[in-house]
Each structure stands twice: as C-alpha cells, then as structure tokens.
Chain A
Amino acid sequence: MTRRSIQNSVIPYVVLVLGSVVFVYPFLWMIATSLRSLAGVGSSGASVWPHEFLWSNYSRAVTSFPFWRYALNSVLTTVIPIVGTVLSCSLAGFAFARLRVRFAGVLFAVVLATMLLPGEVTMVPQFMLFNNLGMVDTLYPLILPAFFGSPFYIFLFRQFFARMPSELADAAVVDGCGWFKTFWLVYLPLARPAVVAVSILLFMGYWNNFLGPAIYINSDKWKTLPLALAGFQSVNGTDTPLLMATSVLITIPCLVIFFVAQKQITNGITFSGGK
C-alpha cells in the first residue's frame, strides 16, 4: 500500500470512530442511567458504566403507572394504521403506476402537491370534524385517517410499481385476471420489499406520534406511551432513573424492528421511477 492510500483510508476511519463515539454516547448513557439509583445519578456524571444494576427501575416503570394499558393503546394506534396505510397507499400507488387513464396525471400532481401541505393547517378543522362525529377522547381519530392514504407513501409505492415490468399486468389481464386480482395476486406479493420498508417507516412514525394523542386524548385510559411519558416527565421530572427506564422501554420495539429488518430499510426505497 502506498503512503497516499493509507492516508486516504485512515483519515475517514478516525473521523468515523470519533463521530460514532459522540453519537452513541448519549444512547449508552440513557441505558446506564436507567440502571442507577437516584443518588448514583448525582455522582456518576458522564460515566456510561452503571456501577449498580437496579433492574427494579424497570419493574417500577411498568408498575408505577398503567404501563401495559398505555402499551396496548400504542400498539392499537400503530398496527392498525400501518395495515390501513399500506392497503390504501399500495392500491392508489398501483393505479397511478399501471392504470394510466385520463386525469391520472392531474390527480398524481395533486398527490404530490399535498405532500408539501403541512398537516397543521387542517389540525383545527379536523378536530372539529372528529368532535362532530363524537370521536374525541377515543383512539379512532388516530386510527381512521390511515385508511384513506397518505401522499408520501402513495408516491413511494407508485415509484416501486413503476419499476416493475408492465408485461406482468398485460399477461395477467389477458389470462382473464381482473385489475384487482392483478394487483392483489401478482403485483402486491412482488412488492414485498416496498411493503416491508414502508411498514417500518410507518412504525417509527406512528409509535412515536405525539401531536395526535396530545390533541385527541384526555382521559387516562386512552393515553399512548409517548403521551404518558410526557405527562410523567412533568409530574416526576426529578426521578431520572425511572424516566430513563421508561424511555428505554418505549425505544425497545423500534430497536428490535430495526435489527430484524435492517436490510429492508435500504432495499425497498427507490426514488427513481424508471428501470
């Protein structure tokens, strides 16, 4: 190896290692703090070795407030919306990619335009809509809109379907398959990488959603985990180990999903429409 090429690979390495330490440090510190006692938090400063292993912080986190009830609400407002979004967006994405009829282009332009529309503009009137429907302080406002598509994911699915050969559709239709069967039996199974990638992105979004529950949920029994943690922070703001243990517990599902499906996150996302 020449001196030049050694230099070229050493410098990035040093930068990467230093950066990684800075990045991963707060994460390790969170875990370490979640295992300390209150007195230990005050004396240990920046150390990421806990020195004491108070697993009881975790059992306190689960029992000191109705953790499992909130977890159930979080699961309900995550899993059902994922199914809804994937169904509605893949259907629309397929239509925009493969059924190029009149007005399809115009409508797709509308989809792209709404991607730039901030949800906050419709936040107040949407609240009134759900208020009229008598759904305030239930989980429904956090679940139902997902079944009506979301522009960003329609766009992602369209890009994915546009990359798949159109001969597939022609062949299926010639064989007497209707359009829905063509979509359901031919295209959707082949779009598995996209479905997985979108589901993971959606999971992170719905699981950590805070604005929605903050608007719609008042009573204790419908609180989701992030909403409960925020309330917990303002009431027990000084019990650091307990707060960190709860934060770790909220993060664990995201970690598990990330490590199981690490590859799919980068494989399923394509931005270019051509082959």
Chain B
Amino acid sequence: MAELTLTVVSPEREVLREEGVTLVLAPSVEGQLGILPRHAPLITQLAPGTLELRRGAETQHFSITGGFLEVMDNTVTVLADASENASEISRERAEAAREAAVRDLEEARRTHDDVMTTQARLALLRALARLRTVERARRG
C-alpha cells in the first residue's frame, strides 16, 4: 500500500519529516482537508489551526499559524509560518501569550500603532492555534 511522506518546514527550521504516514488532516482556507495516499497533486493555502498526522494507530498534532501545503507524488510538503508539536506546547504559556496579545492589541488599537497592531494580531493567532492544538491532542 502506498504511504505518504510528510515534511513540515518553517522559515526557521525543518519541523518534521515523517515517512509511512497514512493520513494528513490540514486546515485549508476552504475548510478541513484530508489527504490519503495517492492524492492528486494539490497546492493550497492553510489557515491557522491544527495539522494532524496519522500513521496506523498513532496520531500526532501540530499547531500551525497558517502557511501553504503541496501534495505531489505521495509527498506532502507544508510551508508553515510557524509550527510546533502539541507535546512541545505549554498550555499555561499559550494562555498567558493569548492574554498578553489581547492586551497589546487593545493598546495598539488605542494608540493607532500599526507595527504593534500587526505584531499583536500575529501573536494572538499563534496563541489561539497553539491552544486549539493542545485541546485537540488532549481529546485524541
């Protein structure tokens, strides 16, 4: 049976390279996307959310803050803006980051600071994607 190779790269590092993957679930901008082996070639944009991979009975979750996904010849390549394994994510820290981002965003909106608004908005999206991923991983 054909299997998938999944590579996740962020600008900072290669986050993951897994062979023998049987299913990839990714948050496309058009909705949840499931990729099985022998999927047709595809290029799509990803929304912030959770990337899930299954290899037999084993499941792994990754947070993703948006990016792009390409399927070609049973190889799935994800260009993530940033990505982390669910096990690397600290719930408390993500929650604290979310609260800090919300505060910064309000502050930036009040002072009309464009740079700060952008930073705060990105920070908020990252924190939310992390929290959702931890939640998904916990539920299994």
Verify that A and B bind, or say they do not.
no
